[in-house]
Chain A
Amino acid sequence: MYRGYHCQKRTMKTWIMNYSVSLAAIIMLLPGVAVAQQKKHLTISGMIRDMANGETLPGATVSFRELPGVGVSANAYGFYSVSIPEGSYTLIATYIGYRTDTLHIDLKGNLQQDIRLEANSGQLKEVKISGSSSKSRNILTAPPGVQKLTINDVKNVPVLLGEKDILKTIQLLPGIVAAGDGKAGFFVRGGDADQNLILLDEATVYNASHLLGFFSVFNSDAIKDIQIYKAGMPADYGGRISSVEDIHMNDGNNQKFGMTGGIGLIASRLTAEGPLFDHKGSFIVSARRTYVDAFTGLASDTTIKKTKLYFYDFNLKGNYQLDKTDRVFLSGYFGKDYLQLKQGNGIDYGNSTGTLRWNHIFNSSLFSNTSLIYNNYDYNTHFQSSTNNITVGSAITDYHLKQDFSYYLNSANKLDIGLESIYHVTQPGAGTTSATSNYNSIVLQKKYSLESAAYISHEWTATDKLKLTYGLRVSDLAVLGPGNYYTYDPAGNIASNTYYSGGKVVKNYINPEPRISANYQLNDSSSVKLSYDRNVQNIHLLNNSTASSPTNVYLPSTNVVKPEIADQVSVGYYRTFHQNGIEFSTELYYKKLQNQIDYKDGANLVGNENVEADLLFGTGRAYGWETYIKKKYGKFTGWLSYTLSKSERKIPGINDSHYYPASQDQTNHLNIVGMYQASKKWVLSADFVYSTGTPVTYPDGKFAVDGSPVYGYGSRNSQRLSPYNRLDLGATLYVKKTHRIESSWNFSIYNVYGQSNPYTIIFQTDPNNMNRTQVQQTTLFKMVPSVTYNFKF
């Protein structure tokens, strides 16, 4: 008791200290706000939308020919607001892939001006903008470590089995690497797969993969764009220490009804969208299902023949403009995977999310969003035999309330303030068994926690060259009863057990998370950026198996498991060539990680009430250099990205407590993506991936147990797999492209030259000579062709 109290007091003290420092920093910078306030300004604000379908265009920019250096971009809901002196202006609205629009305005009072932009048909053309207003957009001004992809960017990139996939395409960007063929998840800047915050309309998606990682759960027909933060996360994001993938669903066409769809070898999808309530609202409904199981029935192998194997998912979204200042959105995602072998052994898992949002514009400079979010992820594993029927499952459910305010003080200052609270309920494991089973039914106690955060962030255009965004997020995790909470001795034996009744606080973790990023524009075509951020993570995924098994256990921070903390410093140089036609960026980062989780040898993660006793905790560091060059316009577009990096962990008890390479460490990683508009009908594409093999632990000898060879291992992750590389080719044929109907065929070949990239490596007895052992490598994808027919009307 005393010790606990003491600790709490100490945490409180450090927190107050840290808080004071951050507060001091904010106060010191506030004069900027005050000074800027003195001039009399008027505000122009509104929504930026697509002309044809009414979709909002987050990230579209507004600037003024007469005011070089002044520019704002629309927020996640397409809302923009900017304060400028009274006068006559030429407003310039731009968005990539859209025709730039200019309109004349006479600003005599606060003005509400909605803007509609027309999409560029065909290939992306060079955007020519007069004056110097082009400053206010592109990579030069975005915070470091941030990247945005729209569905247009990914539609021609060849992917496995022809399903265009935004989450797969981001794995071709610098600093983001795939877990490997047939494996779920991806790693950002040396972090683990569970350290990525994947949001779909603000709802957390815990498992973003279908079919063990072959596809992501995001149906591209329903997705508008993705914003990726590898560093410099704004203070309104929190909860994961590696990255944020903020994915927005389409709102639905509010002008006319339409259908989009695709028929592929593996999956088909259909989307319907259209206006509601006299164009005041719109909806979009999207569904997708695979039919691999139809093919497995044709296989000669009886085991494969009886395999049940499919997934489906639905995306639904509706929105309604109540009046000029209020808009509500309701969006949801439901997906499920079923994988079952003939004897009834199998797994099913799925995510469901729901988001209810209310946008309110208090006045031309104060924007508010309120979100009520629900999300759930669960999985069940089934084992079945004549005497043994077992179902084992685990789940996590979140109830989430979020309130954000954006206050546009003037053209140079914007304040974001918000609060959020998430109530997590996790079921780490529950199993039901039949009467004749070898196993007892088991229900592990649920774990309850309340994760809350408050943040303030100030975006300040200090001079027309220097832009600063800094803020503070204070997060708190309250570990709540009811339940037994144990402490353990170093050997993993239970040292104490305390029961906490419902609502009692077991432990509070308060963490200040300062964030700052600075952006200095050197000239019209180059800038330098610097950022520091701290992120804290309170939901941890436990999985010590290499198989991309979704049978994972999510564990919130407890009295034993402390919040993971990452501090990252990132610097970069950015340059554009040919009037934004070519973007070049190069970034350096260094990350320090605390309270990283590892497992004791032979850890039991399934059905273990005392799973914390099987965990090890340590630190980590990751650093690297990323280079990216992208050609944005013309017949030929594409990018090249190269990353040189290192990611290491230091866990007491592993490798004599020295730093060792993390399992996702890849020294060199190269991606080349190219798309070529060969004619009006054909778009050809290719991508090439090369990376250093990831670290593995291989045997350094063998011995016999009851006559069977067993292997001894040297230090962890001291060897490496052979380098991973592959080339994919794709071609899209636009059959019909009119205003009424658009249809296309997509052909692709994954891993064209049939490189044997390892999926599993097995050390085993040689079946041809029982007196010897051998190494077997299984490769999943060699020359996988696919055809998909896409249509839109």
Chain B
Amino acid sequence: MKNNHFFILIALALVMVTACTKTITPPLNYSPQLVIEGVVSDTAGPYHVSLSKTANFYSDNVYPTVSGATVVITDATANVTDVLSEAASGDYVTHAIIGTPGHTYQLKVMLAGQTYTATSTMPKPVALDSVTVDYSVSNNFRPVANYQDPADQKNYYKYSIQRNGKHVNHFQTFDDRLSNGRYIRDKLDCDTGTFHHGDLVKVDLVGLDFGAFNFLHEAEAVAYDNANLSTPATPTSNITGGCIGYFAAQTVSSKITRVR
């Protein structure tokens, strides 16, 4: 529930003339930390694991890549081990692994004498029925993901959006904690004015296990709702060893529509 804007709006309404916003530059600490992001999907490989360092808040959104790590993914169910090769600086790719629902995957990263490990199990796939567009706000058309949540399991989701073939930098998570077995029509958030008449919208419904979802869910709150968190904290990683990031064995179901 993103109530932050709601409360600010009420406050605004109360003192229409006096509320104001300005950019400030409080001193911020910066201590570079390792970030690992690894994904195995039920779509065709190769799959990527990326290693980088956090950037200073006040610098550009450019994250220094980390080279020279040994990265191994094991399909513990099929007993297949894949040693990834570094295709570009900080970008490690698989060769043999095939993402299969129900299989459990292990990630192992060795870097500068440290080992980082994670385990993720790919959930049963959930199919996205359709993508529609919500036109209720004239300057903010929003994609709607429509699908049936299976009642027989706990489900964790992430949405990712493309506009005319280009990734939209906004992610969103959802879980069925309060929605088990419902038909879901989820209006997706994106920056106001992202979509225009005639745009092609592609939505991926990504199925996750709890560990990866938990990181992404906390990351979502930190990224878009941090003013409303009384005790913001670095999202909890499902990778052990002391780094930021997540490892996800995930299913992907996509649908496309056009904005009228």
Which residues of A are in contact with B by a Cβ distance under 8 Å?
Answer: 182, 211-212, 214, 266, 292, 295-296, 299, 303-304, 307, 309, 339, 341, 343, 345, 381, 383, 385-388, 431, 436-440, 442, 543-549, 551, 598-599, 601-602, 604, 606-607, 663, 697-714, 716-719, 722, 756, 759-764, 770-784
CB <8 Å contact, B52 and A703 = yes
One digit per residue, 1 when the CB lies within 8 angstroms of any chain A CB and 0 when it does not, for chain B 73-103 equals: 0000000000000000000000000000000
- Closest Cβ of chain A to B221, distance in Å, is 7
Which of these, A309, A547, A703, A756, contacts B244 with CB under 8 Å? A703
Among B209-226, those with CB < 8 Å from A are 214, 216-219, 221-223, 226
CB <8 Å contact, A544 and B61 = no
CB <8 Å contact, A700 and B28 = yes
Q: CA A439 – CA B217 in complex, angstroms?
A: 18
- Closest Cβ of chain B to A263, distance in Å, is 18
Question: Chain B residues near A598 (CB, 8 Å)?
Answer: 231
Known: A708-B169, A781-B18. A763 touches B230 (CB 8 A): no
Known: A182-B11, A700-B29. A761 touches B24 (CB 8 A): yes
Q: CA A627 – CA B151 in complex, angstroms?
A: 62
Known: A345-B6, A602-B218. A547 touches B228 (CB 8 A): yes
Known: A440-B180, A706-B167, A763-B57. A303 touches B14 (CB 8 A): no
Which of these, B60, B134, B216, B226, contacts A711 with CB under 8 Å? B226
Q: CA A544 – CA B234 in complex, angstroms?
A: 16
New contact pairs (20) apart from A309-B14, A607-B177, CB-CB < 8 Å: A341-B6, A545-B228, A546-B229, A547-B7, A699-B57, A700-B28, A700-B29, A700-B54, A703-B55, A704-B61, A705-B37, A705-B216, A706-B171, A709-B223, A718-B29, A719-B28, A772-B61, A773-B58, A779-B22, A783-B18
Is B3's beta carbon under 8 Å from chain A? Answer: yes
Q: CA A33 – CA B238 in complex, angstroms?
A: 67
CB <8 Å contact, B16 and A299 = yes
CB <8 Å contact, B18 and A545 = no
CB <8 Å contact, B177 and A759 = no
Question: Chain B residues near A709 (CB, 8 Å)?
Answer: 61, 223
List the one stretch of B119-127, B181-189, B195-203 in contact with chain A: B181-189
Residue ID in chain B nearest A722 by CB atoms = B26
Question: Chain A residues near B14 (CB, 8 Å)?
Answer: 211, 214, 266, 292, 309
Residue ID in chain A nearest B144 by CB atoms = A387
Indicate the size class of the contact surface on chain B.
35 or more
Known: A700-B31, A701-B31, A778-B21. A760 touches B231 (CB 8 A): no
Known: A547-B7, A602-B214. A762 touches B55 (CB 8 A): no
- Closest Cβ of chain B to A626, distance in Å, is 26
Question: Chain A residues near B10 (CB, 8 Å)?
Answer: 211-212, 307, 309, 339
CB <8 Å contact, B12 and A713 = no
Q: Report which residue of B3, B178, B181 has the largest number of chain A beta carbons within 10 angstroms of its beta carbon.
A: B178
Which of these, A307, A544, A701, A770, contacts B56 with CB under 8 Å? A701
CB <8 Å contact, B61 and A712 = no
Q: Report which residue of B3, B25, B63 has the largest number of chain A beta carbons within 10 angstroms of its beta carbon.
A: B3
Question: Chain B residues near A387 (CB, 8 Å)?
Answer: 185
CB <8 Å contact, B233 and A601 = yes
Question: Chain A residues near B171 (CB, 8 Å)?
Answer: 705-706, 708
CB <8 Å contact, B6 and A776 = no
Q: What are the 7 closest A-B residue pairs judged by CB atoms, nearest first?
A: A701-B54, A707-B169, A706-B171, A762-B227, A700-B29, A760-B227, A712-B234
Question: Chain A residues near B130 (CB, 8 Å)?
Answer: none
CB <8 Å contact, A438 and B179 = yes
CB <8 Å contact, B223 and A705 = yes
Q: CA A761 – CA B26 in complex, angstroms?
A: 10
Is B4's beta carbon under 8 Å from chain A? Answer: yes
Q: CA A385 – CA B185 in complex, angstroms?
A: 11
Q: CA A602 – CA B175 in complex, angstroms?
A: 13
Across chains A and B, the number of contacting residue pairs, with CB separation under 8 Å, is: 243
Which of these, B15, B23, B233, contacts A784 with CB under 8 Å? B15
Question: Chain A residues near B177 (CB, 8 Å)?
Answer: 604, 607
Is B235's beta carbon under 8 Å from chain A? Answer: yes
Q: CA A601 – CA B56 in complex, angstroms?
A: 23
Is B136's beta carbon under 8 Å from chain A? Answer: yes
Question: Chain B residues near A343 (CB, 8 Å)?
Answer: 136
CB <8 Å contact, B25 and A714 = no
Which of these, B4, B181, B222, B233, contacts A440 with CB under 8 Å? B181
Question: Chain B residues near A545 (CB, 8 Å)?
Answer: 3, 228-230
Q: Report which residue of A211, A543, A701 has the largest number of chain B beta carbons within 10 angstroms of its beta carbon.
A: A701
Is B44's beta carbon under 8 Å from chain A? Answer: no
Is B232's beta carbon under 8 Å from chain A? Answer: yes
CB <8 Å contact, A782 and B20 = yes
CB <8 Å contact, A711 and B170 = no
CB <8 Å contact, A438 and B184 = yes
CB <8 Å contact, B57 and A548 = no
Question: Chain B residues near A431 (CB, 8 Å)?
Answer: 178
CB <8 Å contact, A784 and B18 = yes
CB <8 Å contact, A701 and B229 = no
Is B112's beta carbon under 8 Å from chain A? Answer: no
Which of these, B4, B33, B187, B245, contacts A701 with CB under 8 Å? B33
Question: Chain A residues near B245 (CB, 8 Å)?
Answer: 703
Q: CA A436 – CA B26 in complex, angstroms?
A: 46
Question: Chain A residues near B27 (CB, 8 Å)?
Answer: 719
Is B239's beta carbon under 8 Å from chain A? Answer: no
CB <8 Å contact, A706 and B160 = yes
CB <8 Å contact, A698 and B7 = no
Q: CA A598 – CA B230 in complex, angstroms?
A: 11
Known: A545-B3, A547-B228, A708-B223. A299 touches B18 (CB 8 A): no
- Closest Cβ of chain B to A633, distance in Å, is 36
CB <8 Å contact, B179 and A439 = yes
CB <8 Å contact, B182 and A773 = no
CB <8 Å contact, B186 and A711 = no
10 contacts between A and B (CB under 8 A): A303-B9, A307-B10, A345-B6, A386-B134, A548-B7, A699-B57, A711-B232, A712-B33, A764-B226, A775-B23
Which of these, B24, B181, B186, B234, contacts A713 with CB under 8 Å? B234
CB <8 Å contact, A773 and B223 = no
Known: A438-B185, A439-B182, A702-B61. A710 touches B228 (CB 8 A): no
Which of these, A383, A702, A782, contacts B18 with CB under 8 Å? A782
- Closest Cβ of chain B to A526, distance in Å, is 43
- Closest Cβ of chain A to B172, distance in Å, is 10
Which of these, A304, A381, A771, contacts B61 with CB under 8 Å? A771
Question: Chain A residues near B233 (CB, 8 Å)?
Answer: 601, 697, 713, 716
- Closest Cβ of chain A to B85, distance in Å, is 23
Q: CA A182 – CA B221 in complex, angstroms?
A: 22
CB <8 Å contact, B12 and A546 = no
Question: Chain B residues near A546 (CB, 8 Å)?
Answer: 227-230
Is B32's beta carbon under 8 Å from chain A? Answer: yes
- Closest Cβ of chain A to B3, distance in Å, is 6
CB <8 Å contact, A698 and B55 = no
Question: Chain A residues near B55 (CB, 8 Å)?
Answer: 701-703
Question: Chain A residues near B253 (CB, 8 Å)?
Answer: none
Question: Chain B residues near A705 (CB, 8 Å)?
Answer: 37, 171, 216, 219, 223
Q: Report which residue of B23, B177, B232 has the largest number of chain A beta carbons within 10 angstroms of its beta carbon.
A: B232
Q: Report which residue of B29, B56, B60 has the largest number of chain A beta carbons within 10 angstroms of its beta carbon.
A: B29
- Closest Cβ of chain A to B43, distance in Å, is 16
Q: CA A439 – CA B37 in complex, angstroms?
A: 31
Q: Report which residue of B27, B169, B221 has the largest number of chain A beta carbons within 10 angstroms of its beta carbon.
A: B169
Question: Chain B residues near A784 (CB, 8 Å)?
Answer: 15, 18
